[in-house]
């Protein structure tokens, strides 16, 4: 996998009817490449960390699909891996492919 983009800033995390409006994030997006160097459609990995509010219980959000709205208005589908704020997602990119 090749690093294709990095994001850092303050955004909004939402999912399951909850919204955390002031979440500091540092995210890296990787894309798989074929042997010829061209990207493999729909194969990516998003990993990084969120600085979650200390007084907010996020245990119920771990492992569920969430949306991280970046400062520039884009949105990333992410999965919270632990209560420390580690983010890990694999699969389709920020926009869905035409295969499904």
* Confidence at residue 18, expressed as pLDDT on a 0 to 100 scale: 81
* Confidence at residue 71, expressed as pLDDT on a 0 to 100 scale: 93
pTM to 2 decimals?
Answer: 0.78
* Confidence at residue 100, expressed as pLDDT on a 0 to 100 scale: 42
Q: Is the dihedral of CA 77, 26, 71, 53 positive or negative?
A: positive
pLDDT in 10s for each residue of the chain, 100 residues: 889 899 999 999 998 888 888 899 999 999 888 888 788 877 888 999 999 888 878 888 888 889 999 999 999 889 999 888 899 888 764 455 444 4
> Residue ranges per domain, the chain?
2-87
* Confidence at residue 92, expressed as pLDDT on a 0 to 100 scale: 60
**Count H helices, E strands: the chain?**
0, 6
């Amino acid at each position: 996998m090749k690093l294709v983009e990095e994001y850092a800033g303050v955004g909004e995390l939402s999912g399951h009817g909850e919204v955390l409006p002031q979440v500091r994030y540092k995210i890296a997006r990787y894309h798989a490449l074929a042997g010829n160097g061209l990207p493999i459609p729909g194969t990516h990995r998003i990993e990084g960390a969120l600085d979650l509010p200390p007084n907010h219980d996020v245990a119920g959000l771990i492992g569920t699909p969430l949306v991280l709205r970046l400062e520039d208005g884009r949105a990333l589908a992410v999965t919270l891996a632990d209560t420390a704020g580690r983010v890990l997602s694999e699969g389709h990119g920020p926009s869905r492919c035409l295969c499904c």
